[in-house]
């Protein structure tokens, strides 16, 4: 764990995948927090030149992913500004000792946690709350003809998706997937 400025950077079981916690300063008016400050992120082990910000809005049960860019991989710094999601990164880096492994973290407006996903990873998330607003920075622009993907339930990854809020167990029948996300090829490691 590294502390720098108003941030705490925690390594996960996959080198380079980092959970970022930011200090919030609150009073009766609400709160203020920094979400990104390059010198602190460099000190925390994140050296990405972010060039694009994205935001999505999704309903409960929406699962987006697992997506990646083939020739133009993107590092991402993701966070949730409303609601709760389970965010997942899958290591696709050839030769990596954690190739094919995944790391997941709950991101919410309440915990204000961020998740850094380096280049070379597939990414996806599941909306656990009634609604979620998801924001992320990318270190390369999106190239629509360069996207690849794998099924969210690929047995090679065996991702342990959590239940939706209010449910006692994960129920795949409640997932909302795009047509594209319903037909990704299987992972062949």
Whole-Å CA distances, 103 to 24, 58, 138: 25, 22, 19
> Which of 23, 31, 119 minimizes the C-alpha distance to 70?
119
One-character DSSP codes across 16-70? T-EEEEE-EEEETTEEEE-S--HHHHHHTT------EEEEEEEETTBEEEEEEES
CA angle 131, 108, 110 (to 5 degrees): 110
**Secondary structure (H, E, C), 85-109:** EEEEEEECCCCCCCCCCEEEEEEEC
Active site residues: 67, 136
CB 164 within 8 A of CB 106: no
Q: How far apart are CA 132 and CA 55, in angstroms?
A: 10
């Amino acid at each position: 764990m590294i502390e720098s400025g108003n941030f705490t950077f925690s390594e996960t079981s996959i080198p380079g995948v980092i959970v970022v916690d930011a200090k919030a300063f609150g009073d009766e008016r609400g709160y203020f927090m920094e979400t990104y400050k390059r010198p602190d992120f460099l000190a925390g082990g994140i050296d990405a030149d972010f060039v694009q910000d994205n935001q999505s809005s999704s309903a409960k049960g929406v699962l987006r992913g697992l997506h990646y860019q083939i020739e133009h991989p993107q590092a991402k710094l993701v966070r949730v500004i409303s609601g709760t999601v389970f965010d997942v990164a899958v290591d696709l880096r050839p030769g990596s000792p954690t190739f094919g492994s995944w790391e997941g973290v709950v991101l919410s407006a309440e915990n204000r946690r961020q998740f850094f996903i380096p280049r070379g990873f597939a990414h996806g998330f599941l909306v656990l709350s009634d609604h979620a607003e998801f924001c992320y920075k990318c270190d390369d622009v999106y190239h629509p003809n360069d996207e690849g993907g794998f099924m969210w339930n690929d047995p090679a990854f065996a991702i342990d998706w959590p239940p939706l809020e209010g449910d006692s167990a994960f129920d795949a029948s409640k997932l909302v997937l795009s047509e594209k996300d319903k037909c990704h090829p299987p992972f062949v490691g």
